[in-house]
Structure 1
Amino acid sequence: ALEKGKHVLAEKPLAKDVATGRELVEWYHQNVDTGRVTFGVAEQFRYLNAFIYAAEQARSFGKVIGFRHRLSGNVAPDMKYLQTEWRKKPEHQGGFLLDGGVHFIAGMRLLLGSEAKVAKVSAFTTQLQSHLPPVDTVDATFLLANGATGNFSVSFGTTFTGTDWAVACEKGSVSVDGTKVTVKPLGGEEKVVDKPDELGGVKQEVFAWAKSLVSGKQEPKQRPEEALADLEVLEAMLRSGESGGQPVELKLQI
């Protein structure tokens, strides 16, 4: 489609692994007139109003000094998202962690911002449920480029439930719970703001893509380099998990 001059908005993840993703991005820049034809990757977490607002509030609080992310759930064998063969018998690394996990990496990267991008990852992975190969759980510690650290935990095979998103900054903290954002200035009054979305951010991302086609300018949030950065973090956790928690350095973060 790109070779024929057609704009493309592809589903996440960008590719099955970083090597393939890098090859695809390099091919795009070398073989396509990127000023005329755009290649974007859809990721609705970058369009969730709660995350956009929370990221803005976090930036106003100065340097990131810590963060935590936890998502816990149980993907049952009869769950609709598991009724495709490529999910039941994944040939791609990470199984459900790759397919679903890039969403949460994208959300985390948005909250942290470019000044606190991930520099190094140490993680442990495991498979708790036999129907979710090859792994369904990851617990990781991240070292950020600014020297701060934080925790990232995702499991699709646990009996825990719920999510937790929080970023601590020098002048306050911000947390996200669904569409509600809690803002806590250091020494100030806490406030909770509701930031609902339509179709979980999908409508906003498709509208943004359509707008970019009209303007002729690539939508920054849909650049394939953003999706490649998401994929790199996820793959680094898997590689670290395979090596018993050995730290993995990241090189493609933006």
Structure 2
Amino acid sequence: MTGIALLGAGIFAREEHLPAIEAVPSLTLKAVYSRSQASAEALAAASRDPASVAVYFDSPAVEGKTLDDLLRRADVEAVVVALPILHQPAVVERALRAGKHVLSEKPVAGTVADAVRLIGWYEGNDEKKPLWGVAENWRYLDSLRYAAQRVREIGGDLLTFRLNRYGHMSPENKYFNTEWRKVPQYQGGFLLDGGVHFVAGLRFLLGAAGDDIKQLVGFSALLDKALIPVDTVNAAAITGGGRSGTITVTFATEFKSGIEVEVVTTKGAVSWNPTEVITVTGKGDGSGEKVEEKKEFPYSSGVKEEVKAFAAALAAGKLDAVQTPREALKDLEILQALLESGEGGATVKNITL
């Protein structure tokens, strides 16, 4: 078994990461860390066996209880980092320097520049490196994987695509009431925090069609003053193969919600949402008639599946390709380009990484 520690805080760490770790037989939770003692103790208390989980924190200062003390433990071989966006890169680097394997939450960093610096340092280390994966749980959704499979099976050349995500982040929402999200010190607010999921889902289906976004132009807005600095973006995007599509993401539509990603090729169309995939193809008899297929899925966050994949990577000594930091960097570059294009009055942004 691999000894693992959860470095996290808040509701998501308790409700998603903790049970995900404990659901994998090859992982043993040894310790938890959060910046405050109260938060760390709450995280440990939510575990299956609190008495077996050591607690570490930086405030108040207590000898032997710091993050560095945790990272010195020989029985902790890996860590899951689920800390606020701006704190993650430094903690990821500290853990890697301590020789621990790392699975860090999305986005890979708060900005592309910070992500490039961290990835460059990691890849430039000639010594035997611990594994570092970035947790994008949408890439582990059964429904999204099935949709990608159908895109590949249908084949044909990409014609167009769209990503539509509507919803409202209300003041009563448990994630809104996380202080670092309520008053974000990073670009994009919820568009960064949640938007990378939507970009990852779109890119996953475009990848199944053999393409990816290379250029975009967008308009952004703040429709709900509580969701600073910006909550909505509408954009047009072009792939490397020269096909155009649209991207709409908003956290400010109280009376409309839902997410849908659609990819259309010369041989069919696949429309995805987290609980349903609709495939439209020709009948294949020359009649021009169409056949529609629907497949439903139970709701899943994908977090347990991504942690299971990380555990498998530890056993194999090789990271799953969809968990690489560079894959997460591509999601972040597109999201940041959407924000910068909107801020610049719909300037054209090229995707280069």
Smaller-chain TM-score bracket: over 0.9
- Summarize deviations over 1:218-254 as a string: whole Å, max 9, x none: 11111000110000000000110011111100001xx
Does 2:288 correspond to 1:192?
no
**C-alpha deviation, 1:178, in angstroms:** 2.6
**In structure 1, what is the equivalent of residue 338 of structure 2?**
237
1:57 to 150, 171, 176: 150
Q: Helix, strand or coil: the match of 1:82?
A: coil
Where do 5+ consecutive residues of structure 1 fail to align? none
2:328 to 220, 227, 231: 227
2:212 to 83, 107, 117: 117
1:146 to 217, 231, 241: 241
Does 2:182 correspond to 1:94?
no
2:261 to 162, 165, 173: 165
Say which one has the larger Rg. Answer: 2
RMSD of equivalent CA atoms: 1.4
- Summarize deviations over 1:36-86 as a string: whole Å, max 9, x none: 511110011100111111112112322211111111111111211011221
Q: Aligned equivalents of 2:276 and 2:294: distance in 1? A: 7
Structure 1 letter corresponding to 2:294 = V
Does the 8 Å contact 1:129/1:136 carry over to 2? yes
- Summarize deviations over 1:3-41 as a string: whole Å, max 9, x none: 1211000011011110000001001111264x6511110
Structure 2 letter corresponding to 1:46 = R
The count of residues paired between Structure 1 and Structure 2 equals: 250
- Summarize deviations over 1:140-179 as a string: whole Å, max 9, x none: 1100111111111011011322222211011000011332
Q: Aligned equivalents of 1:32 and 1:223: distance in 2? A: 18
- Summarize deviations over 1:78-128 as a string: whole Å, max 9, x none: 211011221111110001100000000000000100731101010000001
Greater displacement, 111-120 / 218-227: 111-120
Where do 5+ consecutive residues of structure 2 fail to align? 1-94, 284-289
Which protein, 1 or 2, shows the higher relative CO under an 8 Å CA cutoff with sep ≥ 6? 1
Q: Helix, strand or coil: the match of 2:184?
A: coil
**In structure 1, what is the equivalent of residue 169 of structure 2?**
75
1:37 to 93, 112, 130: 130
With structure 1 as the length reference, what TM-score do the two structures score?
0.94
**In structure 1, what is the equivalent of residue 317 of structure 2?**
216
Does the 8 Å contact 1:105/1:233 carry over to 2? yes
- Taking only the aligned residue pairs, the percentage that are identical comes to 44
